[in-house]
Amino acid sequence: MVYKNLMRLKGLILLKLVILMPSSLFAEQPKDWQLGFQKSASEVMYDIVWFHDFMLLPIITAITAFVLFLVIYACVRFRASRNPIASKTSHNTFIEVIWTLVPCLILIVMAVPSFKVLYSQDRIPPADVTIKAVGYQWYWGYEYPDENIIFDSYMIDDKDLLPGQPRLLTVDNEIVVPVNKVVKVLITANDVLHAWALPSFGVKRDAVPGRINETWFKADRTGTFYGQCSELCGIKHAFMPITVKVVDQNEYEKWLGEAKKKFAKNKKESEKLFKVVKFFGDN
Ligand SMILES: [Cu+2]
């Protein structure tokens, strides 16, 4: 009986793996039981992951092991039974100099690559595509200022999801950008603080009303990448995902052509104006 149940369980797990595998293998999104960062898709993110994996982790591990060793050593070496008369030592200049200097050195060693990564995020190379992202309660509005495109991006409800579309991450209108091109993102908000974040690109910037923040990324492969609003902005904070579709240049130009017709700026703005006029007219 137990064996039979185990085999059934194994079968179920296998079936689940087969069903889940394609979408979870290729999607650029958080995965069940994931440890660490999402897979990098831009140089900035590779640098961040390198800094975390090969600088911070070894240093943290070494410090933790060293402190643990000291605690255990002190417990054993200076236990009451072995050390009935306690030492009265309260100062030791040499050890005090050491425990000031060594942490300083560790901080300096960490600071150098850390600043390098920080400045590479901050210094925006000449942009090929510029996008403006505006945070609203609770969705994102996007604009391609050079292309005269403007549209809103709402999350798709669970009941309307198509097979393969991730829950809470899929939107109706995603941003489309070309691969291997510098994309500059201007970020602002219209009501409260939001934050535009995309883990695979190593991008996270606050969206502040009345102020424009800038960031950039250069995606190194095609695919659909997911992020979420990362500043607590109200009751539907968890339901304003960010979806970026990275495509090759040809596909991007094709999309631009269609989007210019579908999301023409003047049309959208006049629609908004119409809504406002209608609102005041009705009230
Ligand atoms: Cu938000």
Best CA proximity match to 148, nearest among 136, 130, 127: 130
Please tell me whether residues 113 and 163 are part of one structural domain. Answer: no
Please tell me whether residues 185 and 200 are part of one structural domain. Answer: yes
For the CA atoms of 136, 138, 139, 145, what is the dihedral angle to 10 degrees? 0
Which residues fall inside 5 Å of ion ligand 1, going by CB? Answer: 194, 229, 233
- Structural contact between residues 179 and 247, judged by C-beta atoms closer than 8 angstroms: yes
Report pLDDT for 100.
96
The CA–CA distances, whole Å, from 238 to 6, 152, 276 equal 38, 17, 28
- Give 205 Cα–ligand 1 centroid separation in angstroms: 12
- Give 246 Cα–ligand 1 centroid separation in angstroms: 23
- Give 198 Cα–ligand 1 centroid separation in angstroms: 13
Mean pLDDT (the chain) is 86
pLDDT band at 165; cut points 50, 70, 90: confident
The residue with greater pLDDT, 8 or 199, is: 199
Distance between CA atoms of residues 82 and 132, nearest Å = 69
- Give 269 Cα–ligand 1 centroid separation in angstroms: 22
Report pLDDT for 266.
66
- Give 42 Cα–ligand 1 centroid separation in angstroms: 24
pLDDT, tens only, 91-127? 999 999 999 999 999 999 999 999 999 999 989 999 9
Please tell me whether residues 71 and 146 are part of one structural domain. Answer: no
pTM: 0.76
Please tell me whether residues 117 and 139 are part of one structural domain. Answer: no
Please tell me whether residues 48 and 109 are part of one structural domain. Answer: yes
Q: How many domains does the chain have?
A: 2
Quick check: is 228 in a domain? yes
Please tell me whether residues 189 and 103 are part of one structural domain. Answer: no
Residue 126 phi, psi dihedral angles, 5° rounding: -50, 125
- Give 136 Cα–ligand 1 centroid separation in angstroms: 7
Burial 55-66 (b: 16+ CB within 10 A, else e): beeeeeeeeeee
pLDDT, tens only, 15-37? 444 444 444 444 577 888 888 88
- Give 235 Cα–ligand 1 centroid separation in angstroms: 9
Average pLDDT of the residues in 178-201: 95
Report pLDDT for 247.
95
Percentage of residues of the chain with pLDDT beyond 90: 69
Please tell me whether residues 136 and 182 are part of one structural domain. Answer: yes
pLDDT, tens only, 34-54? 888 888 999 999 999 999 999
Quick check: is 38 in a domain? no
Distance between CA atoms of residues 81 and 70, nearest Å = 19
- Give 123 Cα–ligand 1 centroid separation in angstroms: 25
Please tell me whether residues 267 and 138 are part of one structural domain. Answer: yes
Provide the token pair at 140: 């994102």
Distance between CA atoms of residues 186 and 172, nearest Å = 21
Please tell me whether residues 117 and 134 are part of one structural domain. Answer: no
Domain that holds residue 105: 43-80+90-122
Quick check: is 10 in a domain? no
- Structural contact between residues 214 and 185, judged by C-beta atoms closer than 8 angstroms: yes
Please tell me whether residues 261 and 133 are part of one structural domain. Answer: yes
Average pLDDT of the residues in 265-275: 62
- Give 283 Cα–ligand 1 centroid separation in angstroms: 29
Please tell me whether residues 150 and 263 are part of one structural domain. Answer: yes
- Give 155 Cα–ligand 1 centroid separation in angstroms: 12
Quick check: is 223 in a domain? yes
Quick check: is 270 in a domain? yes
Q: What is the CATH number of the domain that holds 193?
A: 2.60.40.420
pLDDT band at 198; cut points 50, 70, 90: very high
Quick check: is 18 in a domain? no
Quick check: is 28 in a domain? no
Please tell me whether residues 100 and 206 are part of one structural domain. Answer: no
Read off the amino acid at residue 245.
K
- Structural contact between residues 242 and 227, judged by C-beta atoms closer than 8 angstroms: yes
Q: Which of 20-29, 181-190, 208-217 has the lowest mean pLDDT?
A: 20-29
- Give 187 Cα–ligand 1 centroid separation in angstroms: 12
The residue with greater pLDDT, 71 or 263, is: 71
Distance between CA atoms of residues 212 and 185, nearest Å = 10
